[in-house]
Structure 1
């Protein structure tokens, strides 16, 4: 992941020697080619033209043999690259005595890796910043207040950690005190500091800005959010974009065209020097370098907006997305339902019903379970332990609580245990959790989970990007799902879906590629089934984040549209850079075919073409006017939240 930055040494002379040693070790072929070129120019200056010719020609042919070896391996692997043009140019310039031009071509070929490293170093700046911020040491507080510096990997849940000003939070934690501001910009793209109060969760990777604070670790380093982000960033940095194969796609026609122009020049001029001049300007390094640089730039730019794109190929898929499907709870909605009413059925009272339901829901990781438990705690109700408990994903939970068989969940699930269940009348946007006790219907808990304030804006932006289909998939009742969908501008709704239903619906969508946006455990299968899976919020489900291709580190739904926009711009810039290199090479070939460009000038001109294509590819780093970093919504869904 590290770029080609040279190491430093003590003193200016030491720095120069260290950097020179580093360069020679990292790029030995470039160093050798530069040395030979200097020697040849020195021999020419000393009037030893014959010796210069032999030295220059010999080195050019040595590099030519190396290129030939790479070409044979590529052909055997089924890849038709542009090595044939480079090899032909080297041999042709040696044959006609243009050995200085041969050395320039050789330098261009051997320096291609160094040039790509330099451009990639610039393109990876945001990804690199995330990795470089990862802390390796932490200040652990002992019971007596002593401070011990330990490896971050040695921290565990419950450990007290001191984080000083300008230090990065090493693990997921909660604030013990005092209240302070944290800079989460490298994680979320949010430029303003975020104030955290005592008891608030604090993101690993956040920067402490003002004063020393004490945190209580809630997860080990390996299980913390920042560790997952770092792992995703490393994977993204090492990925290769499928668009790089465009070089192979264009290589054969471009090579044939170059040989055709060279043949025409031979027919017209009958001069092998002109043929060599044509071949010299037909070595399109931009085909090999520009696209990877553009995609690295796109991933880095996405990271600046709080988007981790796991591999470069995902950007290509994002650029072509035509359908977007959203989960409801925790994605379209805030994922923080509130309890509106308790409707018990005699002989149970409201407090009895809520206590039994909350006691059973202790064994569920569903967002609704958290809401029910919180409501019971606020009423001062003591929760009961269970002798046994079983959760059925998306359906509910059954538990033996206080000597009663309690079933909490969807109406269909509760009806299987209590046939006398009665359907609850609901208002717009409301949802009901049904409860059965000892085989009889015991009542309902009515809740509301409002839509995010930025949901309609997200749909508008997606429509502006030409997305032909947006839809919502939900495990909730149809009336609740349709109310939320209408509020945010989604026309197509599939309600009362099981995880397998969501997978089937996404797989059957005709307008592809499909982007699926979700946040819960039960979203993992459908995120994996879509061409592009997007997980909302790094605080959400680990399973969803691991199944997704893109992870949005904030709770800002609008960034789903930003992801599509970044993908499109990256793909456009990559293709533009490839075509820019081809077009300029074609123009130079046409001019060279007239015989007016000396071979050395042609070789240097091709270097300029390389630089122009790479500089254009680096435009993938730039934001356009639509991609200003927006302040994310403050609402955060509970850990493990998912739609039932």
Structure 2
């Protein structure tokens, strides 16, 4: 059955093989003229079909390389090499199958992601007249936020949820590339696409299927598959010069030898499959390799850009730093004691998405404080929040923001690596919450690796205060620090940073405008954001800055493989054409040899699936 499916998928190959077999049989039994007429009719039909496709391409503004194949087929028929003309047809129709095979090989990890997409969820329902639970299987698209779900052993988690069971172990390798299972405890988030361990667990859905991590990755993969890299279009630009050189060589061979057959013998070696197939296969391989490493690139064009990056900018909090600041000190400045100051600040911060806000809330709950409800809560992006709590107006945020409502605000003295959230209550400065967020251990080596690989300019763009930003910059090796920035200022700096292309790395939420303004936006999407990262071109699914260096390394390797594959195809074709000008390669042999050239370039393009790692610190 599988053989029949293959035959059905490539009818042109089947028809050409049958035609070639009949022609060869007629030739063997002495009916050469009948074979010639059959071959001529079949090839003429194929030429007509190819010309129709070429006209359609030209109308769409695309000039391809099929003209060479058409001229070669017509030339071989004209000089009586009808078997060679059939082999050219077989080669062109076989190119589709070859591209399909190479594409599937290159997309193996992308395809694995798609094939494992969750489809069914086990929803737990309580019976109204008993304490028993009923399990109902529903399509994953019908799961609603808040639904209780059962995940059986070795099953795929259908949607993002929080663990209700006390503990659980999950294989997240398809999401992050991390091969070791990870342990989760009650209340922690479990991502869709993770594989449950050897015991059943219960989760409560926190996102719908469309918004969950794995489905977002699948959407990115579909988008990446549909894209075309500039280097693929660059291969098309070789069409006119390669066609011109091939026709000149063939014409020269005819003129020098006086034998029209020589024209056909040269042209059969000029077929363009290496240019048409090798580059797309290489880029699919690069996309597949990056997905396996826990980095989703939104198409081949992104690989082309990230391979040429010459400058980079990094956000600080959650990107260069751990992203989980810990409260280390509470410094009241007025009548409030430390506990009440922390309670009011954390209550106001309930309505903020900033990483410092989360840390303040976590510290308050950890100290047994009950958060108070707030009214008129308002967040000013990157500046802070204000809220009415009971009969008090509380403002928490940067010193300048708090000073705008409390002129008596004074800046705190901070140690290296510390950050501060300033608090005002009822228009008066109330104190400072001091937090510490250490740089990621790998940050310094990533910066050093980028510099050693030709990234000439590296900067930090942050909304944090200058003293903290400068301290982190010194620790990771960044001298060009821009602090206390608003989102529009980040966008402006991203547009001005030279040389280009420029890469911006941020958390995928607060840095969305700057990510969109960069030539390559990289979102650290492992925490706080789903994988969609609409503003970013690259989404890092692993909570490690090393993956940024790995993405650059994969991009450079993939681009180099694609370009090399193109030049291998051109060099081999031109070399063989020069040899064929002497008449030592018959047309039939030349057509068969060209198939080997196609195979060599495509096999080389598959090298994009492997290649050297980023080798940080080496």
Relative to the length of structure 2, the TM-score reads: 0.96
**Aligned match of 1:282:** 270
Please state whether the residue corresponding to 1:554 is helix, strand or coil.
coil
**Aligned match of 1:507:** 495
Counterpart contact for 1:535–1:544, Cα < 8 Å: no
Please state whether the residue corresponding to 2:309 is helix, strand or coil.
coil
**Aligned match of 1:98:** 81
Cα offset, 1:520, TM superposition: 4.3
**Aligned match of 2:90:** 107
Cα offset, 1:625, TM superposition: 4.7
Cα offset, 1:80, TM superposition: 2.6
2:326 is equivalent to residue 338 of structure 1:
yes
Please state whether the residue corresponding to 2:534 is helix, strand or coil.
helix
Cα offset, 1:465, TM superposition: 1.8
Counterpart contact for 2:325–2:437, Cα < 8 Å: yes
**Aligned match of 2:475:** 487
1:597-612 alignment, distance < 5 Å: 597-612=585-600
Cα-to-partner distance string for 1:613-640 (whole Å, 9 max, x where unaligned): 0000000001325469xxxxxxxxxxxx
2:396 is equivalent to residue 411 of structure 1:
no
**Aligned match of 1:640:** none
Relative to structure 1, the CA distance from residue 241 to residue 329 in structure 2 (aligned partners, 3 Å threshold; closer, same or farther) is same
Counterpart contact for 1:430–1:449, Cα < 8 Å: yes
Cα offset, 1:243, TM superposition: 0.8
Please state whether the residue corresponding to 1:318 is helix, strand or coil.
helix
Relative to structure 1, the CA distance from residue 180 to residue 385 in structure 2 (aligned partners, 3 Å threshold; closer, same or farther) is closer
Cα-to-partner distance string for 1:256-312 (whole Å, 9 max, x where unaligned): 111111111112111111110001111121110000000000000111110100111
Q: Structure 1 residues 596-605 or 104-113, which shifts more?
A: 104-113
**Aligned match of 1:568:** 556
Counterpart contact for 2:525–2:531, Cα < 8 Å: no
1:342-491 alignment, distance < 5 Å: 342-491=330-479
**Aligned match of 2:111:** 128
Counterpart contact for 1:235–1:311, Cα < 8 Å: yes
**Aligned match of 1:642:** none
**Aligned match of 1:185:** 173
**Aligned match of 1:61:** 44
2:573 is equivalent to residue 585 of structure 1:
yes
Cα offset, 1:81, TM superposition: 1.8
Counterparts of 2:438 and 2:157, CA distance in 1: 32
Counterparts of 1:323 and 1:575, CA distance in 2: 23
Please state whether the residue corresponding to 1:214 is helix, strand or coil.
strand
Q: Structure 1 residues 273-282 or 106-115, which shifts more?
A: 106-115
Please state whether the residue corresponding to 1:142 is helix, strand or coil.
strand
Counterparts of 1:197 and 1:359, CA distance in 2: 26
Q: 2:505 aligns with which of 509, 517, 524?
A: 517
1:126-275 alignment, distance < 5 Å: 126-143=109-126, 144-275=132-263
**Aligned match of 1:311:** 299
**Aligned match of 1:558:** 546
Q: Structure 1 residues 534-543 or 406-415, which shifts more?
A: 534-543
Please state whether the residue corresponding to 1:222 is helix, strand or coil.
coil
> How many aligned residue pairs are there?
611
**Aligned match of 2:29:** 46
Counterparts of 1:573 and 1:542, CA distance in 2: 32
Counterpart contact for 1:184–1:207, Cα < 8 Å: yes
Counterparts of 1:301 and 1:576, CA distance in 2: 18
Cα offset, 1:546, TM superposition: 1.1
Cα-to-partner distance string for 1:581-609 (whole Å, 9 max, x where unaligned): 11110111011111111111000001110
Q: Structure 1 residues 247-256 or 478-487, which shifts more?
A: 247-256
Counterparts of 1:282 and 1:93, CA distance in 2: 13
After superposition, the CA RMSD in angstroms is 1.5
**Aligned match of 1:3:** none
Unaligned residue ranges in structure 2 (runs of 5+): 127-131
Q: 1:299 aligns with which of 268, 272, 287?
A: 287
Please state whether the residue corresponding to 1:441 is helix, strand or coil.
strand
**Aligned match of 2:19:** 36
Relative to the length of structure 1, the TM-score reads: 0.92
Counterparts of 1:228 and 1:448, CA distance in 2: 33
Cα-to-partner distance string for 1:207-253 (whole Å, 9 max, x where unaligned): 11322222222211111111111100111111111111122211111
Counterparts of 1:509 and 1:372, CA distance in 2: 34
Relative to structure 1, the CA distance from residue 538 to residue 625 in structure 2 (aligned partners, 3 Å threshold; closer, same or farther) is closer
Counterpart contact for 1:411–1:423, Cα < 8 Å: yes
Counterparts of 1:193 and 1:480, CA distance in 2: 36
Counterparts of 1:58 and 1:540, CA distance in 2: 64
Counterparts of 2:31 and 2:77, CA distance in 1: 17
Cα-to-partner distance string for 1:185-207 (whole Å, 9 max, x where unaligned): 11111111112222222121111
Counterparts of 2:173 and 2:549, CA distance in 1: 20
Please state whether the residue corresponding to 1:195 is helix, strand or coil.
strand
Counterparts of 1:379 and 1:256, CA distance in 2: 78
Cα-to-partner distance string for 1:494-515 (whole Å, 9 max, x where unaligned): 0111111111111111211011
Cα-to-partner distance string for 1:128-177 (whole Å, 9 max, x where unaligned): 11111111001122223222111111212222222122211111112222
Counterparts of 1:541 and 1:522, CA distance in 2: 10
Counterparts of 2:563 and 2:271, CA distance in 1: 18
Please state whether the residue corresponding to 2:528 is helix, strand or coil.
coil
**Aligned match of 1:635:** none
Counterpart contact for 1:478–1:496, Cα < 8 Å: yes
Cα offset, 1:459, TM superposition: 1.2
Counterparts of 1:531 and 1:512, CA distance in 2: 8
